Structures are given as structure tokens and as C-alpha cells.
Amino acid sequence: MNEKNNDNNDKDKNLEKKEEKINNIFDKKEKNEKNEKDITNEKKEEDKNENIKLNNNIIPLDEEKEINEEKEKIDSNKKKKNRRVPIKDWACRSLKEYQIINEIGEGAYGIVYKAKYIGEKEYKNLYGIPDVVALKQIKTEKEKEGFPITALREIIILKELEHKNIVKLLEVVISEPKKDKRIEEGKINRDVYLVFEFMKHDLFGIISNNIVYNLSQIKYIFHELVLGLKYLHDNNILHRDLKPSNILLNDKNEIKIGDFGLARIFSKSSNAIKRYTNRVVTTCYRAPELILGETNYTTEVDIWSLGCILLELLTRKNAFYFKDDNEEGEGTFGLICKLCGNPNEENWKGVTQYKNYKFIPKENYQCKINNKTFPNLDEVTLDIIKKMLTLNPKKRITLDEILKHPFLTSHEPKMCKAEDMPKIEESFNSLNHGGCENEKKKEKIEMKIAGNDYLGKKKKK
């Protein structure tokens, strides 16, 4: 009897929920009909057969199920259209809490500054704000629709993360309103800054300044990156922009993954239909499936990028940099084929169906990840590189398998500890790439690492 009563109660609750949803849809209509106090049962029945216009969509109201399905579609469309959050609605502190020391970097996202905390000590102690931080200014002047979705996604993701190998977002601060009369009404008139823990170096700067790591030290860096990336993937997050300039280090030799502007949450369900953009990751670290046009991808794209970084640490060269590549990465794909071999239906079922399969070189390249190409690398090291740079993403090694690979478990020399890493001189700051001249110098160094002669001239758009 109790079970029957419980079933009846559940049914009643479900009916109540459905009725509540229907009532919500009719709320707007009922507000406009306040003067019509006496509505007959006959009128109510007619209303059910009418069409109510919501957001320019005509929704047939013959059945409760159809109402609910259409309402969900409308709500989904609203979310897509209103993806930007007005800054005036944010509960953020003021930029006045920090004193900018100097500029340490600039990119498409904005400018990064080194800053000193000068705010309330009580807040500092309560939330563990360090004396020196990094301020990442978000460019908003060209945003017609409000705050950039990439920056908003970065904030949402980083607020939920807490790991020793992930850069820590401390808070978000906002500048005072600008008094510029030229700012159009409705546009953002404040600057937004993400406050991060300060990391003095990045891996790109260290490599380009001829700081050499031995194999045991490279294993330490690689192991820390694997742990950080595994944490992200375990929490359903794709980074989608792993490269040396986004790998940060400090004087304690802590390794942290930074820059989550292209990161996003993904579904692990095999039945879920995923449609992500494939224009992610810098081309020379971009997985072949992305270059070919794949939009239903998952964690394998990050593993490919990590394999590129490991190979770069070992050889001090960017294996897949193509000087005048297009946005789709056609030139990069040619270099991938030269080293990893041409993809075909035998090693990658379905590869010929990709829209960019036309990028496949005419030459029949075979995999050259071997002692002949890399005479200074032994078999165990070559094996992990080969497995990370496997063309077919379904056959690519996983992070769990990497952690169990002999390269990290039994291969000599063993991985060193943080205290055994080389000390970087106090005067050296690998992040200090600000200004046009330094940007050209940085780009010239990047070409040199790739093994190309380059005069620092940027490609015309």
C-alpha cells in the first residue's frame, strides 16, 4: 500500500510540475488580460488551441509535451543570443587595489602587467592575495556585443579549478568608468582585469634564451604538465591552446598551465553530439584531425599538443612550424605527414571523408620518428613521442597510459625533483616581451627555433 501511495504521490508531483510549466508560459498573456476577470471554461479551452507567439516563434499548444519542447528551444536560443554579461552586474573590486609596475606581455586577448597589491590587508590575508600578481587586461573596445565570450569562458572555468599545475585566478577587478565622451552608448566603458598569481617565466622564453634542460629535468616538466592536463580532462575541460608560451614557471620551479581563453567544457558521453570549432590551437601545435576539419573531437587534441611540446624540449626545435602557413594549417599538415607519415584508410578509418583531405601530400610519406631522424633520442623516448603523435586520434596514447609509460617510470635517467631544476638568474625575465620591437624579436627567435631563416617581417593580412 505504501508503495502505491508513493507512486501516486510521484505522479501527482510530475503533474504539478507540468502544470507549473504551462502556467509559466501563459503568465505573460494573463498579465495583458487583467481586465478580463471572468474567463469561462469555454474560453480556456479555446486558448489551448491557439498559438502563442514567443520570440517570433509560433508554438502550437495542442499537447503539454510539445509546449515543453518548444519552450526549451526558445530558452536555448535566448542563451545563444545573450551570451555576454553586462559588467555593471558584476560584483568585482576596483583596480585601485593594485599598483601596476610594468608591462610584461601582449597578445590578441589584451595586455599583461606585473602589479603590486596595495589594497586592504584583511582581504589580502583572508583570500591569500600575494604581494606581486599578474594583471591580464581584457580588450573590449572592439566588442560590439559586450564582454568577450572567450574571456567570460576563461573566468568561469578557472573559478572552478584548484590544482598545483594550473595557474590560479585570484579575482577579477574593474577600472573606474572612462570619462571619454566618444564612447558610444551601450558599449563597455570600463577595463576588466583578471588577477593571476605571478609566474616569472614561460617555457617559450626559456627555450629561446638557450637555457638547456637535461633529460631528467625535461621529464620533471613533462610529468607536471601531464598531471595538470589530466586534472583538466578529469573535470571535462579541454585546453585547446597548449604551447610553450602558455606553460608558466616561477623561481620555485613550479610548472603551471595558463591561458584558458580557448578552453571549454566538453561531454564525455559517447552518444553526445559535439560540434566545436576546429580553429583552435596555434597551427604548429594543432592536431591533424583539427586541420582536416574535425569538429567532434575530445581530449586527444591536447595530447597531440603535449607531444609537440615534449619533442620541442628534447630537440629544441619546433617540428611542425611552417613559415607562411594559411589559417587552416595546410603547410603544417604537410610537415606532419613528412614526420608521421600519410594518413590513409588503413591507419585511420574514415580519414578520406574529411573536407581538407585534399591537404594530403602527393608523396607517399612513411613515419620517420626513429633513430635516423633523431639520433640523440633512445628507443623508449622515441616510443612515447610516436604514441603521442599518432595520426589517428582514436589510437593516440592516453594520459593514464603516459603516466605508466617506461619513460616516466623506469627509464634512465629518472625524473628529477623541483629542487634539482636549474636556477634561473634573478635578472632574467622570460615574460618581458612587451612592445613592437620585442614582439618582432620574439617572433624572430621563434623562427630560429623552427630552423628557418627569418628577418622578423610579419605576413601581410
324 flagged as catalytic: no
Quote the CA–CA distance of 71 and 65 in Å, as a whole number: 10
Query: Residue 188's closest CA among 143, 138, 136, 135?
Result: 143
Beta carbons of 294 and 278 less than 8 angstroms apart: yes
Quote the CA–CA distance of 174 and 176 in Å, as a whole number: 7
C-alpha cell at 115: 602589479
Quote the CA–CA distance of 17 and 40 in Å, as a whole number: 24
Task: Return the SS3 of 255.
Answer: strand
Quote the CA–CA distance of 363 and 354 in Å, as a whole number: 19
Active-site residue, selected from the candidate residues 202, 241, 259, 302: 241
C-alpha cell at 457: 617581417
> In terms of DSSP H, where are the helices of 244-321?
288-292, 300-315
Strand 51-54 and strand 57-60: the pairing is: antiparallel
β-bridge partners, 59: 52
Phi, psi of 205 (to 5 degrees): -65, -35
Quote the CA–CA distance of 80 and 422 in Å, as a whole number: 48
DSSP letter at 246 equals G
Quote the CA–CA distance of 411 and 421 in Å, as a whole number: 19
Quote the CA–CA distance of 438 and 52 in Å, as a whole number: 60
Cβ-based neighbour number of residue 399 at 10 Å: 18
Quote the CA–CA distance of 388 and 407 in Å, as a whole number: 12
Cβ-based neighbour number of residue 265 at 10 Å: 12
DSSP letter at 118 equals -
Strand 192-197 and strand 169-174: the pairing is: antiparallel
Instruction: Provide CB contacts within 8 A for 202, sequence distance 6+.
Output: 244, 245, 246, 247, 248, 249, 258, 430, 431
| Residues recognised as catalytic | 241
